[in-house]
Amino acid sequence: MRGPYKKKTKGKIMNAAWKLFQEKGYEETTISEIIEKSGTSRSAFYHHFHGKDELLFTVAYTYDEDYNFWLQKDYNKNLPTVDNLISFNNYVMHAVENSPFCAFYPSLYGLQVMTEGVRHILNPDRRYYQILRQLLKEGIDAGDISSPYSYSVLTDMITSFQIGITYNWCLQQKRYSLLQYGQELLNPFLESLRAPKSENSGR
């Protein structure tokens, strides 16, 4: 992770919760402890969050900081779009597999299915979704990608693949490499988006 989430009171609560989840575990951490560690108030807590489960969902935003790092360091505008998509997918899977929050994935996925509140993992404004949409739109516009689907629909498809792959990995109790599994299942789909050379006049 590149650093803590920074947004005044809300950020303080999120950072305190993540630290406590790591130190004590999700189930053992109480809202009172989060409030005390964050130096905020109960009213401030409930102004930003409905409960402890919603705080667990915000772990998704910690990955977005890493994805920004990929965009700055590994994105290569001179490569075909599919190559950048594969690079980004590999980066995402590696980050998820090696996250310090890895132990909380079963709770995270289970609670997200049941909650009636905000599903932060699916928030389209997350940097993860923005980067995917950017890559796909650029690829379609440049003729690198050949697909009957819009960049928005392709974003949803790739996201569904990644969520499903990660969920199955959790069900299998992380007995294999998520990165390798993700490459085997998702990369062929990404390769299928590569425009034939006759269509690809941009690169």
Domain definitions of the chain by residue range: 8-51, 59-192
Assign domain 8-51 to its CATH superfamily. Answer: Homeodomain-like (1.10.10.60)
CA 88-1-121 angle, to 5 degrees, is 65
Please tell me which residue, 98 or 101, carries the higher pLDDT value. Answer: 98
Question: CA separation (Å) from 189 to 53, 61, 128, 178?
Answer: 33, 26, 19, 17
Rounded to an integer, the average pLDDT of 147-162 is 95
pLDDT for 111:
66
CATH class of 59-192: mainly alpha
Q: What is the mean pLDDT of the chain?
A: 86
pLDDT in tens, 45-72: 999 888 888 887 777 777 777 888 899 9
pTM of the model: 0.78
Indicate if the pLDDT at residue 21 is higher than 80. Answer: yes
Residue 73 burial class via C-beta count within 10 angstroms: exposed 0-12, middle 13-18, buried 19 and up: exposed
Q: Among positive and negative, which fits the CA dihedral 142, 146, 148, 154?
A: negative
CA 68-72-78 angle, to 5 degrees, is 125
Indicate if the pLDDT at residue 6 is higher than 50. Answer: no
pLDDT in tens, 23-37: 888 888 999 999 999
- Report the DSSP beta bridge partners of residue 145: 194
